[in-house]
Structure 1
Amino acid sequence: MARFTYCVIGGGIVGLSTAHHLLDAEPDATVVVLEAAQSVAAHQTGHNSGVIHSGIYYEPGSLKARFCKAGERATKEFCTEHGIPFDECGKLIVATTAEELARMTALEDRAEVNGIACRRVGGDELTEMEPNVVGLGALHLPKTGIVDYTLVSKTLADLVRRAGGTVLTGQRVVAIAEDARGVSVSTRTTTVTCDRLVVCGGLQADRLAEMAGVPVDVQIIPFRGEYFRLPSERAGFVRRLIYPVPDPDLPFLGVHLSPTIGGAITVGPSAVLGLAREGYPKFSVNPRDVARMAAFPGLWRVARANLRLGVTEVGNSLFKRRYLRECRKYAPGLTAGDLLPHEAGIRAQAVRRNGALVHDFVVERTDRMIHVLNSPSPAATAALPIGRHLAGLATGGDHAAHQV
């Protein structure tokens, strides 16, 4: 039974950032990362659109707003230092109706409060900037960028190993026990003990907390983010990220066009209730996941409150032309033949028993454990400052950890 100073469960970008910052804070510490999948960044980190967010959507003063702004800078600095390609391509939030145009004012105000570079452009300038995009106007965020977060995660894993840490994949955790001497973590093949445990479990965060005896009021509900991609002959169709103006009454941002650092352009995501937390092919079903959701009252309250949205999203998932209609509101030149299959992502949405969606980061602590129960978008963008924050909590440097 190996003994470590710190154990981190979760080899996504947040867990790896935490391990990296633990070793940076305490170079003599022993650190192990346990990841259930056969590679790091196998789930949410490796299935997102690769956006370096600016933070315009987030409530001023929230952890999301604070971490995102710091993370946008930190991600670019990290990529520059380690030779990871990124592109500060910018983003346009496009209004296609008078109602959306009016809603842009609130976003402008939020950008100003959050200290985000942003300017309004008219319909003519919008078309000059992006000839294949139409709208009554848009907000231009020049600092928004794109990157490959899987590559960022692999670089973090390499840094952890070089600093003397251990990263173990294929190690799904089956038991966690805390006592006065430390924490014991068992996988299907091994057991480790540690002085402090940090759990960045993503899609399994609630189960891991329950396994450790931590009372939780939330359950992770998986939402499939289904994407298409444009064919290679449509390369350059847009040069910037193109987003619709979000509806404040809906929990998701809507379908957008996203250039990727590899040169492709993705279209999406939708937001369909998933029937498997780690099932990426369409129509994936995990009976254990379904049974757990069905027994959770919060899911049914969310379903009742968002029935119209749910029906719309399912329709968009089943019928490509309905999905296309959403895209053509701001990109009328797209056709059904332009929407090619692309791998889906799964968003871990924390929901409380009363049906409230949890929008900000949630961290629960015991004497020797830290559990990240909700790590929503923009977690990838914000991973470096989040990891520093969690490392500060684990090492006892609470004051330093809160300085972002």
Structure 2
Amino acid sequence: MADVAGIPGPSPRHDVVVVGGGIVGLAVLTALLDAGHTSVALVERESSLAGHQTGRNSNVIHSGLYYAPGSLKARLAVAGCAETKAFCAEHDLPYVECGKVVAATSEDELPRMAELVRRGRANGVEVHELDAAGVRDREPAVRAVAGLWVPSTGICDYEAITAKLAELAVARGAVIHTGRAVRSAVRRRQDVVVHTDRGDLLAGQVVVCAGLRSDEIARASGFDPGVRIVPFRGEYSDLRGPKADAIRGLVYPVPDPAFPFLGVHATRGVDGSVHVGPNAVLALAREGYDWRTLKVRELAGTLTDPGFLALAGQQWRYGLGEMHRSLSKAAMAKAVARMLPGVTADDLHPPHDVMRRAGVRAQAVRPDGSLVDDFLFSEDTADRGDIRVLHVLNAPSPAATAALPIGREIVARLEGKDAA
């Protein structure tokens, strides 16, 4: 982990304060320094950086295949795919451009796969259509009626990237506070007061990249986010044995367009291990990484939220299926076996790294029950229209891939400019 600054004496007034020490927060900090800001700080509630979505995911460098043309996700993920690999190469961080196979396991998935081709090509992503034999040539262990080959997809270590961004930012004069929880960021006439559990900070502008806590901080700051963050836990298993040995890169299903989740996939990581997952089950707390972690007030807030109730009413069958796969290793193995025939529960094992066993996706849900399917940035402006606080309210996958361009996008908005 990067060497980060401790809390100094009386806090000075900064040009900009960034809230949240995940990869998006560090990318914003980097973009601020690149834009010439000399007094910038970042505040993270945990004792170390990248402890939540950034450090608990499948570490895939996404190509931009899935996202609606013209969306922020499409534009920023395509740019971020190239930039993430370039950053890793420049700083000698682990990454592999291994490519990805998207496998259609039944004929009824072919129209959805055709839509992926359309989207990918509209977004400028190289996509090759494969027949069943072509899929076997790329991934011999996979059974499919057809598939796609996306060569630009890769794997990396986002926690290592975040640590390097922090190290570089501190060397350039940024201040990083860890173990300091932000309660609110309240706009005043001339500045913003960042209230923390260890004293206040003053800033000209604030960017809140708080992930699972983003809507809470917005409301506490007197800003209506218009959404609620619903925590969906995704669990991973290590795949071991001959089936794992046969996996060359990344194997994905054809996703259901009704959801922003990409489905259970198999990924060979930069350490050589193969993991499968994630599912998507309602977490019992904002940071509910297992079934034992329950926070009654947080769960009650989710279960009584009109948006979540509408979503549950529409998608309860899907939710029950995800819960079954969470509670039954045999059910998870059956889902994996659709693409990798022969996989059984005996092939699935808890990951050796506890951080890799589960992640929680901070998913924004609207009051009508619809899932926000793009990055969402909301701005709290001063009377003159200047942005004082920018709230990042939806930045799940592919935000890690897109982080560097997201940082520039946000800084351009703060400065009233078009992003480069």
Give TM-score scaled by structure 2 length. Answer: 0.92
Classify the secondary structure of the residue corresponding to 1:370: strand
Unaligned runs of 5+ in 2: 1-9, 352-356, 382-387
Instruction: Tell me, yes or no, if structure 1 residue 388 matches structure 2 residue 408.
Output: yes
Unaligned runs of 5+ in 1: none
Instruction: Tell me, yes or no, if structure 1 residue 313 matches structure 2 residue 333.
Output: no
Q: Report the counterpart of residue 378 of structure 1 in structure 2.
A: 398
Instruction: Tell me, yes or no, if structure 1 residue 13 matches structure 2 residue 23.
Output: yes
Identity in percent: 44
Q: Distance in 2 between matches of 1:225 and 1:79?
A: 26
Match of 2:378 among 364, 369, 387: 364
Map Cα deviations across residues 85-126 of structure 1 (whole Å, 9 max, x no partner): 110000000011111133221111111111110101111221
Instruction: Tell me, yes or no, if structure 1 residue 341 matches structure 2 residue 355.
Output: no
Instruction: Tell me, yes or no, if structure 1 residue 140 matches structure 2 residue 149.
Output: yes
Instruction: Tell me, yes or no, if structure 1 residue 268 matches structure 2 residue 282.
Output: no
Map Cα deviations across residues 186-216 of structure 1 (whole Å, 9 max, x no partner): 2212221111101101000100111111112
Match of 2:90 among 62, 72, 81: 81
Q: Report the counterpart of residue 176 of structure 1 in structure 2.
A: 185
8 Å Cα contact 1:43/1:346 also seen in 2: yes
Q: Cα gap change, 1:125/1:202 in structure 2, threshold over 3 Å: closer, same or farther?
A: same
Q: Report the counterpart of residue 333 of structure 2 in structure 1.
A: 324
8 Å Cα contact 2:233/2:288 also seen in 1: no
8 Å Cα contact 2:259/2:371 also seen in 1: no
Q: Distance in 2 between matches of 1:376 and 1:215?
A: 20
Map Cα deviations across residues 247-280 of structure 1 (whole Å, 9 max, x no partner): 2234422111011112111101000011111121
| Structure 2 residue identity aligned to 1:50 | N
Instruction: Tell me, yes or no, if structure 1 residue 69 matches structure 2 residue 69.
Output: no
8 Å Cα contact 1:199/1:205 also seen in 2: yes
Map Cα deviations across residues 291-341 of structure 1 (whole Å, 9 max, x no partner): 211231111100011011011111111111111111101101322111112
Match of 1:46 among 40, 55, 63: 55
Which deviates more from structure 2 when the two are superposed, residues 374-383 or residues 171-180?
A: 171-180
Q: Report the counterpart of residue 239 of structure 1 in structure 2.
A: 248
8 Å Cα contact 1:132/1:333 also seen in 2: no
| Structure 2 residue identity aligned to 1:7 | V
Root-mean-square deviation (CA), in Å?
A: 1.4
Instruction: Tell me, yes or no, if structure 1 residue 119 matches structure 2 residue 128.
Output: yes
Match of 2:237 among 221, 225, 228: 228
Shift of 1:234: 5.8
Q: Distance in 1 between matches of 2:56 and 2:317?
A: 27
Q: Distance in 1 between matches of 2:171 and 2:411?
A: 18
Query: Number of residues paired by the alignment?
Result: 399
Q: Distance in 1 between matches of 2:92 and 2:193?
A: 38
8 Å Cα contact 1:359/1:376 also seen in 2: no
Match of 1:354 among 359, 368, 392: 368
Classify the secondary structure of the residue corresponding to 1:44: coil
